[in-house]
Chain A
Amino acid sequence: MRAFFILLRKELRSFFLSPLAFVLLALFVFLNGWLFSTLVEAMRSAVSSRSLIYNLFDSGWFWMGYFILFPLITMRLFAEEKKLGTLEGLFTAPVRTAEVVLAKYFATVILYVVLLLPVFGFFALFERVTGTGAAFHPGAFWGSALILLLIGLFNIAIGTFASAVTSNQLIAAMITFVGVMLHYFLGFLHQFLTTPGSIWTSTLTYFSSTEHMHTFSDGLIDTRPIVYYLSLSALLLAFTQHILDYRKWRA
């Protein structure tokens, strides 16, 4: 556990002492700020049955910027250390592979949360500035925050895994992007492949991040996605640990 916190600190330091975190933060705030103001503008001119939060997270524009985030924040985790050779120093120190994986993973999760905070800041700010108390209900606010955290945990686990597979950061980034997008589109598959109401439709909607987002940003906390994302993340992290230990045995 001690090693975990030392490693976590080191990872966080390398995120926030390099321009990476700040460039991403600027980009993400700009994208979503622009999207936010457009939406507010649109909702002023037309009646919407949905809340501001629902509309923002329902927008394709949001998801686009969102998915570019993951390759960028995870690609260097292990790939860089493999390239530099520092993995050798790391794993010949008295640390467990699991501690290294978890430290890198949670450092990235913290970075992710920091990147998302401004978006939720917009909503908080909106009520203050406009004085319209009931632009959305707290359930929508906290629900969407929770599901975004869960989807993030899962996607960062994909990125962590991809970064451990290769020593090339670009390849790690591409695997992550493809993985993240594939999962996302899996959620749309039922619209094309199956007839509504069939067993396939209901099965496929279980995987749909957008469906999860809809439920949660309506303020409904469904436990199924929570279990789904947490267990998949744990599985991917376990794979990551084994991939890293596999170097020992590789013939």
Chain B
Amino acid sequence: MIHVSDLTKRYAGRTAVDAISFDVGRGEIVGFLGPNGAGKSTTLRILTCFLSATEGSATVAGFDIFKKSIEVRRRVGYMPENVPLYTDMRVSEYLRFRAQIKGLGWRESRRAVDEAMDICALSEVQRKLIGTLSKGYRQRVGLADALVNKPDLLILDEPTNGLDPNQIRQVRDLIRQLGERHTILISTHILHEVEMTCGRVIIIDRGVIKASDTPQNLVRRLRAAGTVNLEVQGEPDAVLAELEKLPGITSATHHDTRQGWAAIEIRTDANIDVREEIFELAVKKQWHLRELSRRQASLEDAFVDLTNRAAAPPSES
């Protein structure tokens, strides 16, 4: 559906997108993930023909985005970041306008707008001025706009930005529903959203693609260390000394002792589970044990690991 090769966008003195290549297949829901200013919006704007690339090429639905831009735009439903809308129009009026400008006929557009308002639960506000709507409703108007002409591909730039948790859930469910009929590319920096909705994640940082895989694989491949927490009754130093002898443990630290229980955090090598060994050790040493838990690495860890930019200079989006 999308084929991008060596796409580069340079602004004066700054490379926003640096020779990225990726593919999105028909029917996929792909999360486009990255810190602020990583080049997500720039990439999406190039794919929707709002900006041009400095170098490289891309096709959407088989059409070159530079040479066949009108054909591409006919097949893409785009929801820009912050959802700009004409505030002086009514919801149904606006959607009607958008449907017609995207090439739907008089009658067709009426049906399409009704359907889109149905999907996005907008029917009750259809007579309201967009300027008077809350952020959540505006977001849904933007979404209805994107899907009103039933495009093959939906490109959503931070669709849940600025919504409250309930609204985020609604939009997420909506996106998952839409995934049954459309190919979707979502940009976001909310990791939870991606884990819940996307079949694949592309992580981009400072204009470079750092990873492209399923969320599960990303986590599995993650080199970041796992963490085991345990609480035992005993002399902390002695316990630590014993623990550090176990294989696969990189460090063990004692946090605090509460009523004789020592809370210890153990960092292990990648994807090694040491809980069984610790349990056997505790039995052998006759320690009392009241917590033994392993925190699995999450997509968040993968994200932080891949995009850690502590040393990077700040850049604007």
Contacts and interface: CB of A to CB of B under 8 A. Distances in A.
Interface of A: 2-3, 6-7, 10, 14, 17-18, 84-86, 88-89, 91-96, 247-251
Interface stretch (B19-27, B97-105, B193-201): B97-105
Given A17-B88, A248-B50, A6 B101 contact: yes
Contacts of A88: 45, 50, 80, 84
B49 interface: yes
Interface residues of B, number: 31
Interface string B1-39: 000000000111000000000000000000000000000
Contacts of A251: 10-12, 54
Contacts of A249: 52
Contacts of A84: 84-87
B257 interface: no
Nearest to B72: A94
Given A17-B88, A85-B84, A94 B102 contact: yes
Contacts of A14: 86, 88-89
Interface of B: 10-12, 45, 48-52, 54, 70-71, 73-74, 76, 78, 80, 82, 84-89, 97-98, 100-103, 145
A209 B52 CA distance: 41
A175 B233 CA distance: 79
Describe B's contact surface by its main secondary structure.
loop
A93 B102 contact: yes
A92 B98 contact: no
A249 to B, nearest CB: 6
30 contacts: A2-B103, A3-B101, A6-B97, A6-B100, A7-B101, A10-B97, A14-B89, A84-B86, A85-B80, A86-B84, A86-B85, A89-B78, A89-B84, A89-B85, A92-B48, A92-B49, A92-B50, A92-B73, A92-B76, A92-B78, A92-B80, A93-B98, A93-B101, A94-B70, A94-B73, A94-B102, A95-B101, A248-B52, A251-B11, A251-B12
